[in-house]
Amino acid sequence: MSSSKPSATEKGPSGRPYHHGDLRRAILTAALDAIAADGPSGLSLRDLARRAGVSHAAPAHHFKDRAGLLTAIAAEGFGLLATTLRAATDLEEAGVRYVRFAREHPAHFQVMFAPELLRTGDLELTTARALASDALREAVTAVPPEGRGTDPRLAGVAAWSLAHGFATLLLGHNLEDPVGGQDPEEVFRKLARMLFRHSG
Amino acid sequence: MSSSKPSATEKGPSGRPYHHGDLRRAILTAALDAIAADGPSGLSLRDLARRAGVSHAAPAHHFKDRAGLLTAIAAEGFGLLATTLRAATDLEEAGVRYVRFAREHPAHFQVMFAPELLRTGDLELTTARALASDALREAVTAVPPEGRGTDPRLAGVAAWSLAHGFATLLLGHNLEDPVGGQDPEEVFRKLARMLFRHSG
DNA sequence: CACTCAACTTGACACTGACAAGATTGCCTC
DNA sequence: GAGGCAATCTTGTCAGTGTCAAGTTGAGTG
C-alpha cells in the first residue's frame, strides 16, 4: 500500500517514508470519512494524522488550523456543488441535484453550512461559494415565469429553502416515516412541483 | 461586596459555595448563551462552570455528559416548539411560528437538529420530539385541502422542508442579499403562499 | 557539492471531558 | 433539637486534544 511510489518515498529503518506523497488529499478524505460518521464536531486532527500514518503535527502544515481544514472542505464542497448545479437545465432539476449532492457528499454539505467552524473570510471559500451562488441564480432565471409574476429573487429563496430544508432533514434522519420506502429524489420532485406549479 | 453575593471562596452561611440554588438552570442558560455565540461545537463544560461560579465538575452532576447537557437543551427546545406550534391556526401560521422560534431560540434550534451531539435514545428527548411532531401533523391537517388533492404527509414534508430550510439558511446568514431589509417573517409568508396557493 | 526550502517530526503547553473520592449542606426522621 | 441520609458541590487526577516552536529529512537547483 505504501509502495505505490517506491522510488521516491521508500524509507529504511522506521518504515515510515518522510514524504507521504499526497498527504493533503489523504487527510482530506480521512476527514470526510470521519465527518460523515461522527459529524464535524467529533473531528480530531490527531486521529486524522494517525489514519494517514504521519505525526500529529503533520496536518497543520497543509491546513494551518482545524478551521483551515474545515474551510478547505467547505470550499471544495461549494466547488463541487457549483459544477453540479451548472449542469441543471431548469430549477426543478437544480433542486434535485442539490438534494443529490447533499446525500452523496454529506460531510461536505454539513461543513459548508457550519459557519462557526469555518474561516468565513477565506478567499478560496468565498469565491467557491460565489460560484455556487451564481449557478443557483442562473438556474432561477432559467425557470419560465410564465403566468406567474413572482419576484425571481423570491423564487430563488423559495427553491433554495425547500431544497436545503429537505436535504438537511434527510441527513438528520428526520424524514423517516413520511418518505417511507420512496426514493427521496422522487419525493423532492413532488415538493418542487408543488412550489412551481406549471400553471397546469 | 459580600453583602448579597459573597466571593466564591467564602464559605460563610449567607454565601452559597455549595448549593448554588438553581445551578441546573444557570448552566442551561449559560450554555444557551455560549451556543448562540459560538455554536454547539465550541461549548466547554468547564467554561460554563466558571460562568456559574462553581467548580469544573459541578455540571456533571446535573447533566451527566456533554451529550447529556445538549440533550436536555434539545428536549427543552422541542417542548417550546411544540407549544408554539400548537397555538397556530393554520399551516402558514405554523410555518411562521417555526421560523420565529428558530430566530428567537437559535441555540435550541441548532442543537435540536444536531443528532450526533445528542443522546438520541433519551426518553425526555424522544417524547418532546414526538410532541412537536404531533403539533406539526395537526397543523398540516388543519390546512383546507380544497381543490388540491395533495397527500397530507407530502404537504407536511413540504411545509416542514420550506420552513426548516428558510430558518436554517437565515441563522447561517446565507440569506442576506435576497431578503434585503425586509422582515424575514413576511418573506417567509410569501414563500408559504407560493407553496400552498389558496386557488386565488 | 553547497544551498534552499517545503514536508514532516519531536516536544511542549494549556485546555478539555470524564471519572473517583472527599467535603458540605438541606432535609427528614426520631 | 440531634442524628443520619442523600443530594449537591469540590478537589484531584488522567488521557486526549489543538496549537505553537524548533529541529530533521529529503528533493531539487545553482
A57-87 residue pLDDT tens: 999 999 999 999 999 999 999 999 999 999 9
pLDDT on residue A79 = 98
Q: What is the overall mean pLDDT for chain A?
A: 87
Report which DSSP code applies to A116. G
From the Cβ of B178, is strand C under 7 Å away?
A: no
- Judged by CB atoms closer than 8 Å, whether chains meet at A39 and B154 is answered as no
Does the structure show a pLDDT above 70 at B172? Answer: yes
Find out whether A36 and A57 touch, Cβ atoms under 8 Å.
Answer: no
For B186, the grid coordinates are 413576511
* CA torsion, ordered B113, A105, A75, A174, to nearest 10 deg: -10
From the Cβ of B56, is strand C under 7 Å away?
A: yes
Highest mean pLDDT among A15-19, A26-30, B136-140: A26-30
Mutate which: B194, B196, B197, vs A, most A CBs within 10 A: B194
Q: Considering Cα of B177, then B179, then B181, then B185, what sign does the dihedral take?
A: negative
Among the residue ranges A107-116, A120-129, B19-28, B145-154, the one predicted with the least confidence is B145-154
Q: How far apart are CA A20 and CA A26, in angstroms?
A: 9
More confident residue, A89 or A146: A89
Length of chain B: 200
> Gap from B104 CA to D16 C1', in Å?
36
Among the residue ranges A29-38, A189-198, B16-25, the one predicted with the least confidence is B16-25
pLDDT on residue A19 = 66
pLDDT on residue A178 = 66
- Picking from B150, B168, B190, the nearest residue to A164 by CB comes out as B168
CB contact set of A20 (below 8 Å; sequence gap of 6+): A9, A26, A52, A53, A54, A58
pLDDT on residue B18 = 62
Q: What are phi and psi of B15, to 5 degrees?
A: -75, 175
Maximum Cα interatomic distance, chain A, rounded to a whole number of Å: 75
E strands, A10-93, are: none
Q: Which nucleotides on chain D have any atom < 7 A from a protein Cβ?
A: 8-13, 16-22, 25-28
Tens of pLDDT, residue by residue over A84-112, are: 999 999 999 999 999 999 999 999 999 99
**The amino acid at B39:** G
pLDDT on residue B102 = 98
Tens of pLDDT, residue by residue over B138-171, are: 998 876 655 456 788 899 999 999 999 999 999 9
Q: How far apart are CA A56 and CA A44, in angstroms?
A: 10
From the Cβ of A52, is strand C under 7 Å away?
A: no
Q: How confident is the model at residue B185 (pLDDT cuts 50, 70, 90)?
A: very high
**The amino acid at A141:** T
From the Cβ of B41, is strand D under 7 Å away?
A: no
CB contact set of A154 (below 8 Å; sequence gap of 6+): B178, B187, B190, B191, B194
Does the structure show a pLDDT above 70 at B11? Answer: no
For A107, the grid coordinates are 460531510
E strands, chain A, are: none
pLDDT on residue B118 = 97
Does the structure show a pLDDT above 50 at A11? Answer: no
Which one, of A128, A178, A61, A199, lies nearest residue B154 by Cα?
Answer: A178
- Judged by CB atoms closer than 8 Å, whether chains meet at B42 and A116 is answered as yes
> Gap from B4 CA to C26 C1', in Å?
20
Rg (CA), chain A: 20
Does the structure show a pLDDT above 80 at B200? Answer: no
Which one, of B167, B107, B16, B200, lies nearest residue A164 by Cα?
Answer: B167
Which one, of B107, B108, B89, B85, lies nearest residue B97 by Cα?
Answer: B85
The arithmetic mean of pLDDT across residues A23-38, rounded, is 97
For A108, the grid coordinates are 461536505
pLDDT on residue B196 = 85
> Gap from B23 CA to C18 C1', in Å?
20
Which one, of A36, A24, A34, lies nearest residue A72 by Cα?
Answer: A24
Q: What is the overall mean pLDDT for chain B?
A: 87
Which one, of A77, A89, A178, A9, lies nearest residue B161 by Cα?
Answer: A178
Find out whether A101 and A113 touch, Cβ atoms under 8 Å.
Answer: no
Q: CA B63: distance to chain centroid?
A: 18
pLDDT on residue B179 = 74
pLDDT on residue B151 = 84
Task: Answer whether A160 touches B (CB < 8 Å).
Answer: yes
Give, to the nearest 10 degrees, the angle between helix B184-195 and helix B91-104. 150
Rg (CA), chain B: 21
Nearest nucleotide to A46 (CA to C1') is D17
Q: How far apart are CA A94 and CA A153, in angstroms?
A: 15
Closest residue, chain B, to A188 (C-alpha) = B158
Segment 80-119 of chain B within 8 Å of chain A by CB: 113-117
> Gap from A44 CA to C11 C1', in Å?
20
Distance from CA of B51 to the nearest CA of A (A): 21
pLDDT on residue A148 = 53
Q: How confident is the model at residue A6 (pLDDT cuts 50, 70, 90)?
A: very low
Distance from CA of A103 to the nearest CA of B (A): 15
Does the structure show a pLDDT above 90 at A141? Answer: no
Distances (CA, A) of B125 to A80, A168, B98, B111, B113: 36, 20, 18, 12, 12
For B73, the grid coordinates are 437543551
Q: How confident is the model at residue A179 (pLDDT cuts 50, 70, 90)?
A: confident
The domains of chain B, with CATH numbers, are: 23-62 (1.10.10), 66-195 (1.10.357.10)
Closest residue, chain A, to B158 (C-alpha) = A191
* Three-state secondary-structure class, residue B53: coil
Tens of pLDDT, residue by residue over B63-89, are: 999 999 999 999 999 999 999 999 999
- Judged by CB atoms closer than 8 Å, whether chains meet at A157 and B191 is answered as yes
- Judged by CB atoms closer than 8 Å, whether chains meet at B172 and A197 is answered as no
Q: At which residue does the C-alpha cell 388540491 appear?
A: B148
pLDDT on residue B37 = 96
More confident residue, A140 or A14: A140
